[in-house]
Amino acid sequence: MTLRQTWLAEGRAEVPADAIEPGLWEEIAEEAAHCATVAVVRHNRRPGLLVMRDGSITSPQRCRVHPGGKALNALARSKVLADIAGEATGQARMTPIRYGYKFYAPGDYMHVHRDDGKCDITFSCGLTPNLAPMGWLPRLRYLSTQQVADELQEEPYPQGGEEFSILHRVLSGFDGRRIPHWRTPLDTQSGEVLITICFSDLSVKPS
Amino acid sequence: METIPQVDRRPAHADWEQRGSVLLTGVLDAERVKAVAGEALMRIGTATPYERDEVSSRRDGSFASPVHCGFLPAGPLLEQLAFDKQLLTVLREATGMPRLVPRGGSVVVYRQGDFQGLHTDTVKATVTVGIALTEGLPAMWWAPSLRDAMPDELAKVVADKGILPECAEFERLEHPPADGSVRAFAGYSIPHWRIPYPGEEPGLLATFSYMDL
């Protein structure tokens, strides 16, 4: 299947393992180690699923975050990533609008949620090798936000969910604003680092 | 993208949140706006029909109702203005949103009877700037009292009052004088509409769109 076909059918877009130069991953690893020392705690304690007008759902999560520096910026702005984002989503002017490191300590978690309505595609990968798969519910992709919230009934990690692997230094894109997804509490003894990069099409067209 | 100097943006942002609109007086070179108007007139033949015959509630929280007008993609001069750094800086300051990024612009062409029914812009249009390129464009109607209403609520408003309501509870947002002043408004948050265009000569409205990261 083409990128476009896979995106439409499954809400996924794989980035080839060799798409990003190994040297850049080394720089990113070094940068992340530095950022870890100054990352800020993100701890949303408001219980339950909050349905937002933009189609997103926010819910509790705990980790530490940092927006990154030059190395992550270079990754977010790499042409190959923009090309994959554009081809998969069929959009013309895909631009990385939000990206960062997420530092997970043992027990850190992310309840089921949907990404910001401006995120047309969300890429993620592990910077460390021991991240568990992402839980998600692709069959709920086309339900309205309220329908999703009703269906999930405040369950932080829904039963009957599926998962996709979070690979070490291999990015993969998914339809995070439509497909509810989550991370169960980190059950390793090590700290783990996740990268997320979200793209938005900035073109102006009649709608 | 340049960022604005470290200043207290809270008052500007509070104003924006309260009013949903801000007037930028004399922010553009009036001659430059005239040149953009000339460019749009030259290209008017390439406008494509912009028509919608449905009401739709979109998943990004925006809402649309029927439209009949023309759409003209940006020419080079309009494109330059849409990405103009000075205009962007003034907008960031005036709205208190330092992470506003330009998406570009286009021209809406109104021929006699053309209109845009009650709608809200895409979630990516945090700020919409409208510039009348011709005289005699009627004021835009808008409903600040319906700020951030969910699409289904707007569908009920339309069912109750029609797609082009002209009633006392809603307001008109007049075009500023053609002296380089422009008006910005919260296109995603506040429902707005344009009643049928009365003129015999086509009316041209340039719009620029900005997204808050």
What's this model's pTM, rounded to 2 decimal places?
0.89
Token duo for residue B155:
């569908």
Structure confidence at residue B83 (pLDDT) = 96
User: Which candidate, B114, B100, B79, places its Cα nearest to that of B206?
Assistant: B79
Domains and CATH numbers, chain A: 3-201 (2.60.120.620)
Task: Using DSSP bridges, classify how beta strands B115-119 and A121-126 pair: parallel, antiparallel or unpaired.
Answer: unpaired
Q: Does a structural domain hold residue B97? A: yes
Q: Which element (helix H / strand E) includes A174?
A: strand A172-174
CATH of residue B64's domain is 2.60.120.620
pLDDT tens per residue, range A48-107: 899 999 999 999 999 999 999 999 999 999 999 999 999 999 998 899 999 999 999 999
pLDDT tens per residue, range B53-72: 999 999 999 999 999 999 99
Low-confidence ranges of chain B (pLDDT < 50): 1
Residue A29 CB burial class (10 angstroms; 0-12, 13-18, ≥19): middle
Token duo for residue A206:
């009649």
Q: Does a structural domain hold residue B121? A: yes
Structure confidence at residue B50 (pLDDT) = 95
Q: Which residues pair with A95 in a beta bridge?
A: A200
Hey, are the CB atoms on A97 and B213 less than 8 Å from each other? yes
Q: Which residues pair with A64 in a beta bridge?
A: A41, A103
A54 interface with B at CB cutoff 8 Å: yes
Hey, are the CB atoms on B60 and A54 less than 8 Å from each other? yes
Find chain B residues with C-beta within 8 A of A178's C-beta. 59
Residue A179 phi/psi, 5° resolution? -95, 120
Using CA atoms, how far residue B198 sits from A123, B1, B52, B139, B151, in Å, is 49, 41, 20, 12, 29
Q: Does a structural domain hold residue B5? A: no
Q: Which element (helix H / strand E) includes B127?
A: strand B127-132
Hey, are the CB atoms on B106 and A204 less than 8 Å from each other? yes
Q: What is the domain range of residue B16?
A: 10-212
Q: Which element (helix H / strand E) includes A61?
A: strand A61-66
Structure confidence at residue B86 (pLDDT) = 94
Mean pLDDT per 10-residue section of chain A, whose length is 207 residues? 96 96 96 96 91 94 97 97 97 93 97 96 96 96 92 90 95 97 94 96 85
Token duo for residue B199:
């003129």
Q: Does a structural domain hold residue B30? A: yes
CA distance linking residue B169 with residue B48, whole number of Å? 34
This model of the complex carries an ipTM of: 0.84
Residue A143 identity = L
Structure confidence at residue B5 (pLDDT) = 55
Q: How far is A22 from chain B (nearest CA, A)?
A: 28
Residue B38 phi/psi, 5° resolution? -60, -45
